[in-house]
Amino acid sequence: MSSKFLNHVSVITGGSTGIGLAIAQGLLAEGARRVYVTGRSRQSLEEAVALLGDAAVAVVSDVSSLADLEHLKDEIEQRGDRLDSIFANAGICEKHPFGSTTEADYDRSFDINVKGVFFTVQTLLPLLRDGGAVVLTSSICSGNGMAELSVYNASKAAVRSFARTWTNDLRERKIRVNALSPGFTRTPLMDNSLKLDEAQIDQLKEHVARITPLGYMADPAEIASAGLFLASADARYITGIELTVDGGLSQI
* Active site annotation includes 152: yes
DSSP annotation string for 127-171 = GEEEEEEEEEE--GGGGS--TT-HHHHHHHHHHHHHHHHHHHHTG
**Predicted pLDDT at 189:** 75
Residue 195: which pLDDT band, with cuts at 50, 70 and 90? confident
Statement: residue 27 has pLDDT above 70 = yes
DSSP three-state, residue 36: strand
By C-alpha distance, which of 167, 169, 160 is closest to 137?
A: 160
Statement: residue 160 has pLDDT above 90 = yes
Statement: residue 222 has pLDDT above 90 = yes
Report yes or no: 230 and 243 within 8 Å, Cβ to Cβ.
yes
Spot the catalytic one: 36, 106, 152, 216. Answer: 152
- Residue % of the chain over a pLDDT of 90: 90
In this prediction, residues 47-72 reach a mean pLDDT of: 98
DSSP three-state, residue 117: helix
Beta carbons within 8 Å of 223's beta carbon, 6+ residues apart: 19, 22, 180, 182, 185, 245
Report yes or no: 165 and 118 within 8 Å, Cβ to Cβ.
no
In this prediction, residues 168-195 reach a mean pLDDT of: 91
Report yes or no: 55 and 28 within 8 Å, Cβ to Cβ.
yes
Mean pLDDT of the chain: 96
Residue 188: which pLDDT band, with cuts at 50, 70 and 90? confident
**Predicted pLDDT at 1:** 61
Statement: residue 245 has pLDDT above 90 = yes
In this prediction, residues 131-160 reach a mean pLDDT of: 95
In this prediction, residues 71-84 reach a mean pLDDT of: 98
**Predicted pLDDT at 190:** 83
